Amino acid sequence: MKAVVARTKGAPVEVVTINVPDAGPGEAVVKVLSCGVCHTDLHYREGGINDDFPFLLGHEASGIVEAVGPDVTSVAVGDFVVLNWRAVCGECRACKRGEAQYCFATHNAKQKMTLADGPDAGTELSPALGIGAFAEKTLVAAGQCTKVDPSARPAAVGLLGCGVMAGIGAAINTGAITRGKSIAVIGCGGVGVAAIAGAALAGASPIIAVDIDAKKLEKAKSMGATHTVDSSKVDPVEEIKRICAETYEGAEGADVVVEAVGRPETWKQAFYARDLAGTVVLVGVPTPDMKVPDLPLIDVFGRGGALKSSWYGDCLPSRDFPMLVDLYRQGRLDLDAFVTEEIGIDDIEAAFERMHHGDVLRSVVVL
Ligand code: APR
Ligand code: ZN
Ligand code: ZN
């Protein structure tokens, strides 16, 4: 099988041949149809996640189940599926109390895919986020496959597997945004724009997009933002408060503020831009060295509400993917808008380059 591998830290990715084992118990082999290029793939390549090279990259994918292990009943050969990172265990405390989205014992395929050719043939691959879908076929745990409507466009719905779900879920699942509530989203990359689309789907108003890049704000507007704030020019906290008070008399900020950058400064903006008893949702991923300086504890207490973080949009793939695909098919969720371009499996380095310039929401490899 042809596949894209990051062999060593920082080196350009290579298209190589890999071996994909037959599906064992609890596993499935999936013929990949599409896979989005995400920042996380680049982080793997740069050694920013861990040192388990070589990595088999790609993790925002859709495909067709080609084979299943002997005991697998959740999906069948021929099913059109969206892949997720985390097959839930069904046994842990979170799963047993009916909150499988918080499962801390998720799993991936047990067997390893390996390099097929060259001096290091036989070397085990580490699949990105337990998926590894820049490949003609990949081996995953059966629980990583969620069957969705087969008439949906693969390149669009495959994106639900990562960043788009993280953003939509940050607004809807973690932030519990609804009609009658206001929301601000700080950072309008793929994740932030997805949070805006999710807020629009939920009927929130106003939906305030904040970014330092005017292009991102244009995109946010096209995805449902009712107001935009260029925080390189104005104080976003004051602007969010002003806009919310225009809509809801007495409002002192937004009911929900989603932070989709992953930095202390922007988290602090989110903290102070929310209304009393409002909710802050951190979906941006900070680095281990980051700290929030000078935050008076009395402000945490005095404002009430909730300071939350959102992992993978607190999604439950078996619940959320089919529902979002249906909304997409009804024309209520524009997943096509996230697909900036469809590319080939040989074009991933170029896609990383374009990602740096911030011109694309997603380049999607179509196989
Ligand atoms: N204030 C407002 N917006 C900012 C700021 C800032 N100080 N700094 C950066 N941004 C904007 C960028 O202009 C960009 O539009 O944040 C956005 C980040 O978008 P991307 O780099 O495309 O990242 P994305 O894929 O959306 O992920 C955002 O969520 O899942 C996490 O790891 C991911 O931490 C990352 C975050
Ligand atoms: Zn991703
Ligand atoms: Zn569990």
What is the reported pLDDT for 359? Answer: 81
Residue-wise pLDDT tens digits, 182-238? 999 999 999 999 999 999 999 999 999 999 999 999 999 999 999 999 999 999 999
What is the reported pLDDT for 258? Answer: 98
Query: CA separation (Å) from 179 to 182, 202, 224?
Result: 8, 6, 14
Domain with CATH 3.90.180.10 in the chain: 2-161+334-366
Residue-wise pLDDT tens digits, 145-174? 999 999 999 999 999 999 999 999 999 999
For ligand 1, is residue 163 a contact (CB within 6 Å)? yes
Nearest-ligand number for the alpha carbon of 282: 1
Domain with CATH 3.40.50.720 in the chain: 164-313
> Around ion ligand 2, which residues have CB less than 5 A away?
38, 40, 162-163
CB neighbours of 298 closer than 8 A, spacing ≥ 6? none
Return d(Cα 173, Cα 324) in angstroms, integer: 13
Question: Which CATH superfamily hosts domain 164-313?
Answer: NAD(P)-binding Rossmann-like Domain (3.40.50.720)
What is the reported pLDDT for 196? Answer: 98
Residue with tokens 């830290």: 9
Among 38, 39, 41, 42, residue to substitute to test ligand 1 (most atoms within 8 Å of Cβ): 39
Among 159, 174, 211, 357, residue to substitute to test ligand 1 (most atoms within 8 Å of Cβ): 211
What is the reported pLDDT for 356? Answer: 84
Looking at domain 2-161+334-366, which of 3.90.180.10, 3.90.550.10, 3.20.20.480, 1.10.510.10 is its CATH number? Answer: 3.90.180.10
Query: CA separation (Å) from 195 to 169, 186, 338?
Result: 7, 10, 12
Nearest CA owner, ligand 1 atom 32 = 285
Strand partners, 364: 36, 342
What is the mean pLDDT of each successive set of 10 residues along the chain, which is 367 residues long? Answer: 95 97 98 96 93 97 98 97 95 95 94 94 97 98 98 97 97 98 97 98 98 96 98 98 97 98 98 97 94 94 96 96 97 96 96 88 95
Q: Which ligand 1 atom sits closest to the C-alpha of 285?
A: 34
Q: How far is the CA of 191 from the centre of ligand 1 (A)?
A: 8
Backbone φ and ψ of 151, nearest 5°: -85, -5
Q: Which helix (H) or strand (E) holds 39?
A: helix 39-45
Q: Which helix (H) or strand (E) holds 197?
A: helix 190-202
In contact, 27 and 145? CB cutoff 8 Å = no
**In the numeric block, which tokens belong to residue 25?**
């118990």
